[in-house]
Every structure is written in C-alpha cells, then in structure tokens.
Amino acid sequence: MKKWYEKFLTPEMKADLRSMLINFIITSLLLGGAIVSLFVAIMAQSVGEPRTAEVLYLLSLVLGVAGGIYSIPILAKRVQWDFLQFNLSYTATTETAFFLTILLVVGIAAVNTGNNLLYLIFSILVGLILTSGVVSHNSLRDIDVGLRFPDHIYAKQEVHLDITVTNHKHLVPSFSLMVGVEIATRKGKTGFRAKMRELFGLLDKHGLSQLAHFIVVPRRQRLRQTIPYAFQQRGRYVIKGFVVSTKFPFGFVQKTRHIEAHGELIVYPEIESRRDILDGLSTLTGNLEHLFKGTGAELYAIRQYQTGDNLRHIDWKATAKTRRTMVKEFTREDERRVTIFFDTMAPAQPSPEFNRQFEQAVSRAATIAFRLVDSNIQVRLVTPTSDSGFDSSHEHLHKLLHELALIRFDNETDTSETPRQASNSEFLSKVVVNSSSGILFTHLQQTDDRLARFVRFGKVVSFSSLSS
C-alpha cells in the first residue's frame, strides 16, 4: 500500500530525493569524521601523545578537504547563481571614505598594541561591510521595474511618468530603492579613467537616472509612483534598461543593479507661446482668408448683389437693413493651406551658434504647424528628403511633429539611413514652384538671390534671425 505522500512525488522527484540522501550520508561521514578526528587529536595532544595527535590532525584535514571537494560541486549545481547574473555597479559615497578611515585607524592600532578589544572592534567593522553587502544585494534581488509615459511628449513641457516596482520576494521586503531609466547615448565613456570616475560618482548623472525613491517595497507587492518630468531636448530616447540603486543599510557603498529593457520614446520639439509668434500666425491666417474667397463654410464678407451671384447666398437681414440686395461671400476651404519648407542644409563648418539657431528653427516650425492645425488650416511639411502632403487632422500633426523631432541638418545626417532625394538647388526650386502661402526655414539670408522669387510669395525665416 502506498503511503499518503507518495502520490505527490513524481519518478524524477523520487530519484532526486534518493540522490540527495546518498550525498548527505557521504558528506556527513566525511565531515563528521573530520570533526571527530579533530577532537581526538586535541585529546591526544593533551595527554602527551604528539605523534598520534599529528596523525589525527592530518587525517582531520584530509577528511575535511575531501568533504568539501565532494559536497561543494553538488551544492553548486543546485544553487541558482542569481548574483552572478546581476549587472551590478558600485559607487563610493562620502560615508565610504569616513568608514574606511575609521577601519584603517582601528586596524593599525590593533596591530601596534596587540589589544584584543581593538581586534574585536576591527572584526565587527569588517562584519558590518559584509552585512551591508548581503542586505543591499537582497534588496535588489527579485525586483522588476515598469515605466509608462504619454503618447505625445513635448520638449520643456512637464509630463507625468508612471514608475512601478514589483518585489517578487516571498519573505523579505526591499528598502530604500532609487529607480531610474538608462538611456542610450551616442558616445559612451570607456576605459580605466571612466571606470574610476564612475566608481567615485564623478560622472554626470543623466536626468532620468534617478526618478523615484521607494522607501519600502513590501514582499510580493507592487508599488507605483507618478513623477512629473520635463524633457529638455527633442529627439528619440532609446531606453536600454532600468537602474535600481540602494545605499541600504549603512550607506557605505551605493550598489546599482542594471535591469535590461528595450523601448524608445519620441519627444516632440518645444511648442513656443511667445506673443509675437501668435500675432504673426494671426496675421498669416487673416491673409489666407483675405487672399482667397470661394464657396467654403466660413463667412468671408458681405457685399452688394451682382449679376450672376447665387441667390441662395443672399443675406436677408443685411438686405432689409441697407435696403439693398446683399449677398454673403465665403472663404475657399481648399486654399486654407500653408506649406512649411524646412531646409536642412548647413554651412560647411556649422558652429555651436548655428546648432542653437537650428534648434530654435525646429521649435518655431513645430509651433507654427501646431497653431495652424489648431485653426483648422491644412499644413504641409516639405524637407529635402520628404513631403508630408496637406492635412489638418491631429494624426497628421503628430506625424509632422514626429518628423521635426528627428530632423537633423545634413552634416549630422547618416546618409545610409536617410539618403538625400534632392540637392539644395532642387529643394529651393521646389520651394519656388509651390511658394504660395508658404514659410521657408533656411540658413540662407533673405537677401540671397536664390530666395528672391520666393520672398514675393511667401515668408522666409532665416536661422540667424531667430533670437532666444
């Protein structure tokens, strides 16, 4: 008859238990024999049998080494070496220097004086270092991090990031966790010097590396924090992973765990709210309605009836008031369009000032597109490598902002990814052909002969004319 617990054991589990029992017995015999030989050797030495004691000491040493050689590989196969899989880095703190100074002073004093109390204090201090390492490692173990962010993010505009931390440990909580996001950079620092600067916390910290601090994360629970954050630059942010660091419990060393993750977020250019920009856009939209009239839905003007006018457009209230037949005129919706031309050509040797002006031009173009779409005006973005077409939907706006977020002048453009489809002269000829109701952003001056035809139809914004 089977015992009650046998129904829970699979054949593999039974074989495993049998192997464990055999290994336990062999290890116990070896280590037990070593301990017994040690005690007998001590007794033999105490009764004046040095030869016997020497043999027993040697036997105890051999049995102990044999027990270790036999048991450690077996135990190693069963242990999940999680700490070897951790991508950990260490950063010294101010407490590190203070504690090491105390440790050095106590150690030197203990050696010089031979005082057992100082040796005891020195041992306690060393034990605190080991304890700190074990506890901090346990706080970083079995931790998962998640990040949620809005679909549309604008530079220098505060957004809310949701950070979640999950503690999968079954028994103990995690303490004092600083959580951040690791962003890929184009140029990374490597070498011994960079490693030393990282060790002593001298490298510049990225703004996303320390976002949220969780004081306690209870066992088998998930906590969330909502953090306000403003990205200072437009562009693509490639997420390499998360960083979780802690100084718990004593603050001797900041231990950081790097958790691998993959993702990216796009930060749109800054949308400016300067009054002169808004006034200029109001003038532009007014000019559009002034230049074009037709059969749209918005009222353009009221004038006296002329032969051939549509009778359905008669304004009876205005007719009764003026005692003349008056008709309504409407704007032409198909002509409420603006083309934004953005020239990405750069001087042969662009200066830092040019970089600043280029970023301001990108922000200005994004602001104009945003405000025009908000006014239900169809917008088109044309660059030397793309043409978005006309549309006034928000989906189209986000497409334009996405392109402006990633746009770079030609000296930085990777030609293998974005091959040029037109030279500068071809682009300018396209600008002239499509120049009605257009805005051109370029590094060329307005007095440049190549822009003479366009100036008569549209507006030229030179990078150098933009001020901070």
Query: When comparing pLDDT for 18 and 335, which is higher?
Result: 18
When pLDDT is cut at 50, 70 and 90, the band that residue 40 belongs to is: confident
| CATH number belonging to domain 335-413+420-465 | 3.40.50.410
Give pTM, 2 decimals: 0.63
C-alpha distances in Å from residue 174, one per residue of 19, 138, 171, 210: 36, 7, 10, 17
Query: When comparing pLDDT for 50 and 86, which is higher?
Result: 50
For 94-143, how does the pLDDT look when each residue is reduced to its tens digit (9 = 90+)? 788 888 888 888 888 887 887 888 888 888 888 888 888 888 888 998 89
| Residue of 308, 291, 450, 287 whose CA lies nearest to 372 | 287
Residue 392 has pLDDT above 80, yes or no: yes
- Beta-carbon contacts of residue 291 (< 8 Å; ≥ 6 apart): 335, 437
Q: What secondary structure letter does DSSP report for 206?
A: P
- For range 284-309, the mean pLDDT: 61
Environment class of 223 (CB within 10 Å of its CB; exposed 0-12, middle 13-18, buried 19+) = middle
Residue 15 has pLDDT above 90, yes or no: no
Looking at residue 352, what is its pLDDT?
84
For 311-352, how does the pLDDT look when each residue is reduced to its tens digit (9 = 90+)? 778 888 888 888 888 888 765 554 567 888 888 877 777 788
Looking at residue 166, what is its pLDDT?
94
What is the residue extent of each domain of the chain?
4-79, 85-268, 293-331, 335-413+420-465
Q: Distance between CA atoms of 351 and 354, rounded to whole angstroms? A: 5
For 90-106, how does the pLDDT look when each residue is reduced to its tens digit (9 = 90+)? 777 778 888 888 888 88
Provide the CATH topology of domain 85-268: Immunoglobulin-like (2.60.40)
Q: What is the DSSP string of 43-91?
A: HHHHTT-HHHHHHHHHHHHHHHHHHHHHHHHHHHHHS--HHHH--EEEE
Residue 130 identity: L
For 354-366, how does the pLDDT look when each residue is reduced to its tens digit (9 = 90+)? 888 888 889 988 9
What are the structure tokens assigned to 345, written together?
């050509």
Query: When comparing pLDDT for 427 and 249, which is higher?
Result: 249
394 by DSSP, 3-state: which? helix
Residue 52 has pLDDT above 60, yes or no: yes
| Residue of 264, 209, 207, 260 whose CA lies nearest to 235 | 264
Q: Under a CB-based contact definition with an 8 Å cutoff, are residues 218 and 171 in contact?
A: no
What beta strand segments (E) does 283-402 contain?
Answer: 294-304, 326-330, 337-342, 378-383, 386-387
In the block, which residue shows the tokens 């976002």?
211
For 422-456, how does the pLDDT look when each residue is reduced to its tens digit (9 = 90+)? 455 555 555 544 545 678 777 766 555 555 445 44
- For range 55-59, the mean pLDDT: 83
In the block, which residue shows the tokens 């359905």?
312
- How much is the mean pLDDT over the chain? 76
Q: Under a CB-based contact definition with an 8 Å cutoff, are residues 331 and 311 in contact?
A: no
Q: Under a CB-based contact definition with an 8 Å cutoff, are residues 210 and 183 in contact?
A: no
Looking at residue 148, what is its pLDDT?
92
Q: Under a CB-based contact definition with an 8 Å cutoff, are residues 267 and 233 in contact?
A: yes
Q: Distance between CA atoms of 344 and 439, rounded to whole angstroms? A: 14
For 210-222, how does the pLDDT look when each residue is reduced to its tens digit (9 = 90+)? 888 999 999 999 9
- For range 300-306, the mean pLDDT: 78
Q: At residue 376, what are phi and psi to the nearest 5 degrees?
A: 65, 35
Looking at residue 197, what is its pLDDT?
44
Q: Distance between CA atoms of 176 and 251, rounded to whole angstroms? A: 10
